[in-house]
């Protein structure tokens, strides 16, 4: 989320069903067909081919994703509620201590949550979501209880403010400035996080007070926006507003209140969305994370109202971004902005791939997958999840990245426990807490297995538990075990990844099964399943190049779905990432990675295939080394290369 210097007074950004297929209900925020139908009041208006399971019905059992989830949970629990809500209480006049009691004041959170920052409060919305997602993912009551405490504190702030339901860490004047098209950061963006977090607290953690608070906030929003003309609204929407359309569509899905639907539709940004509806790529120079959440809202619009234009915009946007604006690891943007399509090689900088963008692209991807059940959506989801989102978190400290640099010789820069709170820290609280959500889907006949992550799925309506055991991607086989009291006839739709060019081995109870499908599809296995039935699925991985879409001589190296990075030393690495001038925090600036001149990034391959000049390291799964002319360079999965310089894209001679 970029800010511009105040000298020009410009601060706005550039820029199914769980219980039954019959109900066809939708979960709200980050929600997809099928989840938490008992919380929904509005049914789907469009055909759905794959329904989500409730996040509560999936448990990670071991491995990299579970470790990330646990580290993120510890971080969320380490932040006291008093510090989280301090800025909200200050805004409501609730933190004026008596003489001599200054030492009892909570220490404010720092970075973008500082009391002098116009975006303050956005992280608390993400924390509400993160705590709810952690509770859903683990069943650990400590997350629900902390979420309850945070909601209670916010409810007290709303009561004391007594402003028609308004709730924020900043005064309404920020919204007024936005409406007047005056200089202000992104107040509706911040409110979107609160709306989304409160919805998540209601849908995932069952907190009724959260819905009550949110409903009052919506009443305030209706009163605030009702007098505005279309011209005023469109001027207001030029500023970054996150996914306010998505948030209100999700609230409408819960309440069936037509006022909430009307609010969602007020956040239709014509200048951004009309070209996409017409099939026009209007992304060049646009602030990427200002755009992407709008399309998540468009997807929600299509699902809840049947608006075909919204479907067209969302689908065209996804295809455009993935095909023409995406790096090998699934991220996009340079200095937070899209650039000309098919110009990846010209934008390998130290400020590539804001992690929030990928967080929101995965949201959009899930919507599109439920509409069509096409393997390409699962393919992208795996690419971005394993390489970008998994790699966002430093396993040593638990802290997360804002950018993931593609510049040769750069390195990751991480947040701090309580003094950063960039947008990507907030979205990271969610991304790292909901890894179970896209592993499995279902239709009325069976289960889609989209991701190969050690986990347990309980499909209560069918009386079936599916246990997935694997060390993927360090091994190429995943094992699926059926647990059921009674024999059940059911289909399994096993994803056959497009990268698995050398074929597949499939066994059921030790017996080989012939596979006629091709990579980039689903293998359907239908039978009456009994307790203990075992499916073994093996997709051999191979080395491959992922060239930039504008220069075949600039390429990344991948092994199966895993992007590899060359480890090129730790010399002259320094500090964490401020990303903003400490004197003027509203002035954005880049980061000097001080890359040594001798960082190797050119490989002399002489036209030979990748298997001739990249060789596996014995005894070390997913480790390789280059053997071309010059010094040998060790390659590891990009998600593992932390606390050192690396190369993802190589110049090939």
User: pLDDT tens across 295-315, in order?
Assistant: 999 999 999 999 999 999 999
Of residues 175, 192, 194, 171, the one with CA closest to residue 184: 175
- 494 and 631 share a domain? no
- 116 and 259 share a domain? yes
- 531 and 549 share a domain? no
- 460 and 603 share a domain? no
- 415 and 448 share a domain? no
- 417 and 468 share a domain? no
Using CA atoms, how far apart are residues 311 and 288, in angstroms rounded to an integer?
19
pLDDT tens, residue by residue, 69-82: 999 999 999 999 99
Q: How confident is the model at residue 586 (pLDDT cuts 50, 70, 90)?
A: very low
For the chain, what is the mean pLDDT? 91
The domain boundary, picked from 505, 538, 571, lies at 538
SS3 173: helix
Three-state secondary structure string covering 553-580: EEEEEEECCEEEEEECCCCCCCCCCCCE
Using CA atoms, how far apart are residues 412 and 420, in angstroms rounded to an integer?
15
Residue 135 in this model has a pLDDT that exceeds 80: yes
pLDDT tens, residue by residue, 340-382: 999 999 999 999 999 999 999 999 999 999 999 999 999 999 9
The domain boundary, picked from 522, 538, 554, lies at 538
- Specify the CATH number for the domain of residue 124: 1.50.10
Residue 248 in this model has a pLDDT that exceeds 50: yes
Residue 648 lies in a domain: yes
- 501 and 413 share a domain? no
Please name the residues in contact with 550: beta carbons below 8 A apart, sequence gap of 6 or more: 342, 343, 344, 345, 346
Residue 148 lies in a domain: yes
pTM for the complete prediction?
A: 0.94
- Specify the CATH number for the domain of residue 528: 2.60.40
Cis peptide bond prior to 230, omega within 30° of 0: no
Cβ neighbours, 10 Å, residue 282 = 17
Q: How confident is the model at residue 418 (pLDDT cuts 50, 70, 90)?
A: very high
Q: Environment class of residue 511 by beta-carbon count within 10 Å: exposed (0-12), middle (13-18) or buried (19+)?
A: exposed
Q: Locate 483 and state its tokens.
A: 């647990």
* Predicted local confidence at residue 1, as pLDDT: 54
- 83 and 201 share a domain? yes
- 53 and 65 share a domain? yes
* Predicted local confidence at residue 296, as pLDDT: 98
Residue 330 lies in a domain: yes
Q: Which domain holds residue 494?
A: 441-472+477-538
Using CA atoms, how far apart are residues 318 and 78, in angstroms rounded to an integer?
37
Residue 448 lies in a domain: yes
In a 13 Å sphere around the CA of 395, the CA atoms on its Cβ side amount to: 12
Residue 29 in this model has a pLDDT that exceeds 60: no
Give percent above pLDDT 90 in the chain. 86
Residue 95 in this model has a pLDDT that exceeds 90: no
SS3 409: coil
Residue 21 in this model has a pLDDT that exceeds 50: no
* Predicted local confidence at residue 107, as pLDDT: 87
Residue 469 in this model has a pLDDT that exceeds 60: yes
Residue 235 lies in a domain: yes
| Count of structural domains within the chain | 3
Query: Per-residue DSSP letters for 431-481?
Result: HTT-GGGGTEEE-SSEEEE----SEEEEETTTTEEEEEEE-TTSSSEEEEE
- 67 and 142 share a domain? yes
Three-state secondary structure string covering 12-66: CCCCCCCCCCCCCEECCCCCCECCCHHHCCCECCCCCCCEECCHHHEEECCCHHH
- 426 and 467 share a domain? no
- Angle at which helix 141-161 crosses helix 208-225, to 10 degrees, equals 40
Which secondary-structure segment (H or E) carries 533?
none
Q: Environment class of residue 1 by beta-carbon count within 10 Å: exposed (0-12), middle (13-18) or buried (19+)?
A: buried
- 433 and 445 share a domain? no
Residue 55 lies in a domain: yes
* Predicted local confidence at residue 154, as pLDDT: 98
Residue 1 lies in a domain: no
Q: Environment class of residue 70 by beta-carbon count within 10 Å: exposed (0-12), middle (13-18) or buried (19+)?
A: middle
Using CA atoms, how far apart are residues 330 and 353, in angstroms rounded to an integer?
8
**How many angstroms from the chain centroid is the CA of residue 139?**
21
The domain boundary, picked from 538, 564, 590, lies at 538
∠ CA(638), CA(450), CA(342), 5° rounding? 50
């Amino acid at each position: 989320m970029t800010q511009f210097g105040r000298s020009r007074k410009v601060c706005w950004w550039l820029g199914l069903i769980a219980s039954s297929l019959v109900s066809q209900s939708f979960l709200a925020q980050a929600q997809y067909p099928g989840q938490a139908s008992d919380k929904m009041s509005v049914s789907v208006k469009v055909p759905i081919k794959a329904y989500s399971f409730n996040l509560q019905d999936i448990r990670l059992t071991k491995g990299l994703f579970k470790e990330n989830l646990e580290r993120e949970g510890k971080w969320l629990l380490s932040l006291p509620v008093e510090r989280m809500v301090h800025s909200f209480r200050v805004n409501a006049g609730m933190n004026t201590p008596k003489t001599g009691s200054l030492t009892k004041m909570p220490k404010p959170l720092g970075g973008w949550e500082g009391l002098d920052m116009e975006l303050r409060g956005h992280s608390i919305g993400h924390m509400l979501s993160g705590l709810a997602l952690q509770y859903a993912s683990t069943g650990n009551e400590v997350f629900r209880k902390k979420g309850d405490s945070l909601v209670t504190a916010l409810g007290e702030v709303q009561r004391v403010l007594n402003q028609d339901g308004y709730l924020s860490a900043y005064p309404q004047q920020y919204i007024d400035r936005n409406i007047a098209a005056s200089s202000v950061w992104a107040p509706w963006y911040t409110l979107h996080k609160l709306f989304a977090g409160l919805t998540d607290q209601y849908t995932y953690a069952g907190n009724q007070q959260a819905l009550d608070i949110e409903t009052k906030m919506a009443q305030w929003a209706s009163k605030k926006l009702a007098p505005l003309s279309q011209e005023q609204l469109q001027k207001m929407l030029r500023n970054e507003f996150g996914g306010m359309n998505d948030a209100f569509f999700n609230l409408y899905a819960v309440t069936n209140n037509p006022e909430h639907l009307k609010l969602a539709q007020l956040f239709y940004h014509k200048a951004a969305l009309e070209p996409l509806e017409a099939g026009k790529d209007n992304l060049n120079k646009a602030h990427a994370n200002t755009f992407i959440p709008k399309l998540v809202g468009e997807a929600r619009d299509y699902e809840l109202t049947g608006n075909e234009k919204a479907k067209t915009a969302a689908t065209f946007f996804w295809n455009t971004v993935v095909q023409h604006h995406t790096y090998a690891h699934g991220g996009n943007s340079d200095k937070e902005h899209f650039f000309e399509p098919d110009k990846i090689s010209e934008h390998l900088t130290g400020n590539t791939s804001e992690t929030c963008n990928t967080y929101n692209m995965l949201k959009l991807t899930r919507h599109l997958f439920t509409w069509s059940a096409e393997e390409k959506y699962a393919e992208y989801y795996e690419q971005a999840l394993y390489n970008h989102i998994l790699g966002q978190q430093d396993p040593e400290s638990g802290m997360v990245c804002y950018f993931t640099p593609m510049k040769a010789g750069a390195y990751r820069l991480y947040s701090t426990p309580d003094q950063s709170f960039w947008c990507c820290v907030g979205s990271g609280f969610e991304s790292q807490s909901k890894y179970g959500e896209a592993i499995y889907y279902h239709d009325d006949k069976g289960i889609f297995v989209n991701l190969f992550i050690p986990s347990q799925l309980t499909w209560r309506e069918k009386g079936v538990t599916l246990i997935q055991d694997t060390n993927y991607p360090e091994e190429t086989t995943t094992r699926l075990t059926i647990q059921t009291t009674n024999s059940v006839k059911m289909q399994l739709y096993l994803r056959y990844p497009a990268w698995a060019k050398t074929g597949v081995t499939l066994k059921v109870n030790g017996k080989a099964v012939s596979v006629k499908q091709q990579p980039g599809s689903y293998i359907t296995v239908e039978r009456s399943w009994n307790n203990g039935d075992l499916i073994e699925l093996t997709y051999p991985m191979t080395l491959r190049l992922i060239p930039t879409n504008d220069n075949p001589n600039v390429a990344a190296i991948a092994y199966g779905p895993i992007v590899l990075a060359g480890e090129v030393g730790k010399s002259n690495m320094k500090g964490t990432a401020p990303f903003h001038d400490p004197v003027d925090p509203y002035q954005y600036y880049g980061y000097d990675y001080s890359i040594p001149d001798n960082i190797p990034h050119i490989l002399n391959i002489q036209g030979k295939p990748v298997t001739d000049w990249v060789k596996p390291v014995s005894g070390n799964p997913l480790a390789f080394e280059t053997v071309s002319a010059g010094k040998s360079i060790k390659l590891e999965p990009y998600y593992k290369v932390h606390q050192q310089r690396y190369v993802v894209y190589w110049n090939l001679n």
